[in-house]
């Protein structure tokens, strides 16, 4: 069985350098590096291709054929853009702030750099998707054909915490139901809600029942299950999601990112077990872990290098 991981992060050397520049500990780089090492996080090699080659080795060990890779900061957008032409197994998504003054120009630039999708964080950048001033941005996203992964739920970014950056996230922007108006107004945009809604599971199901252009991804350890009112297992989550979305709108992901942990094979195995426990058919599992991503991204014939 082959896999197409729809949710991975580059977290390149350039990402870390950008993080370190704005850290309160920037004047003491040794102490800053120590904080990361003590947390079990290894700084990546300066050459991003060396990092990708290491990841390829782990992917091949787990039959992971392709991945959607996120540029998680503006600092690493050029880094990922430079990798895309020579790494056909990677589909590039770039972080995007629709409130930025030059947002429309940025969309054109990302398209020219061969990015297939955008990663949006309403909680981080503090906006509601349905805010009227964002209408031209959504129109442009639809016109350019971007796929949109949009993060809702409680947002914790361990790397920012370790760098000492304050949390300035707005919880009022965390509910995925805020997307319903935009999803209906822009049927040409395919939206992916990661982590089954990141704690807003009921609301994500409601959104999926209303709008056919909404997908979910299965990424991360999904520990949001622990603070749900009802007792849920991961198998329950998959079963309920299939009931509402159908198997065709579920996308496998692991949230792979930092070194030395590397590829999160434990997440892959846990999700396969959960789908088996939820009595997914073999065809449904193939759809979730591979074929849905091919169809959504337009990839025709991925080949393990």
Is 148 strand, coil or helix? Answer: strand
pLDDT of the residue at 300:
67
Q: Domain coordinates of the chain in residue numbers?
A: 3-297
Q: Report residue 265 as tokens.
A: 């094979």
pLDDT of the residue at 29:
85
pLDDT of the residue at 299:
81
Distance between CA atoms of residues 230 and 191, nearest Å: 27
Question: What angle do helix axes 48-61 and 13-21 make, rounded to 10 degrees?
Answer: 120
pLDDT of the residue at 155:
87
Class of the CATH-defined domain 3-297: alpha beta
Distance between CA atoms of residues 195 and 156, nearest Å: 13
pLDDT of the residue at 31:
87
φ, ψ for residue 6 (rounded to 5)? -90, 5
Question: What angle do helix axes 265-277 and 234-245 make, rounded to 10 degrees?
Answer: 70
pLDDT of the residue at 136:
98
**Cβ(83)–Cβ(59) below 8 Å:** no
Exposed, middle or buried, 57 (CB in 10 Å: 0-12/13-18/19+)? exposed
pLDDT of the residue at 305:
46
Task: Give the number of other Cβ atoms within 10 Å of residue 118's Cβ.
Answer: 23
**Cβ(119)–Cβ(94) below 8 Å:** yes
Q: Report residue 257 as tokens.
A: 């990112």
Low-confidence stretches of the chain (pLDDT beneath 70): 300-305
pLDDT of the residue at 301:
56
Instruction: Please name the residues in contact with 276: beta carbons below 8 A apart, sequence gap of 6 or more.
Output: 285
């Amino acid at each position: 069985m082959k896999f197409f991981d729809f949710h991975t992060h580059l977290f390149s050397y350039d990402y870390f350098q950008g993080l370190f520049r704005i850290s309160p500990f920037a004047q003491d780089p040794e102490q800053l590096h120590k904080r990361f090492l003590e947390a079990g996080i290894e700084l990546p090699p300066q050459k991003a291709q060396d990092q990708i080659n290491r990841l390829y080795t782990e992917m091949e060990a787990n039959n992971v054929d392709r991945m959607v890779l996120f540029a998680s900061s503006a600092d690493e957008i050029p880094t990922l853009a430079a990798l895309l032409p020579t790494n056909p197994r990677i589909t590039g998504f770039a972080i995007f702030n629709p409130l930025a003054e030059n947002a429309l120009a940025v969309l054109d630039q990302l398209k020219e750099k061969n990015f297939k999708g955008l990663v949006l964080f309403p909680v981080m950048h503090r906006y509601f998707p349905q805010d009227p001033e964002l209408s031209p941005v959504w129109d442009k996203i639809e016109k350019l054909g971007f796929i949109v992964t949009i993060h809702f739920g409680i947002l914790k970014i361990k790397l920012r915490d370790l760098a000492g950056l304050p949390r300035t996230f707005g919880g009022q922007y965390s509910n995925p139901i805020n997307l319903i108006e935009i999803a209906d107004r822009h049927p040409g945009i395919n939206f992916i809600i990661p982590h089954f809604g990141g704690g807003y599971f009921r609301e994500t199901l409601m959104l999926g029942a209303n709008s056919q252009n909404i997908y979910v991804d299965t990424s991360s350890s999904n520990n949001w299950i622990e603070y749900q009112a009802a007792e849920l297992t991961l198998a329950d989550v998959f079963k309920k999601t299939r009931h509402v979305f159908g198997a065709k709108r579920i996308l496998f992901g692991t949230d792979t990112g930092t070194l030395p942990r590397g590829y999160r094979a434990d997440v892959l195995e846990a999700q396969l077990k959960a789908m088996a426990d939820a009595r997914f058919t073999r065809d449904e599992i193939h759809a979730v872990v591979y074929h849905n991503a091919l169809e959504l991204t337009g990839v025709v014939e991925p080949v393990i290098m």
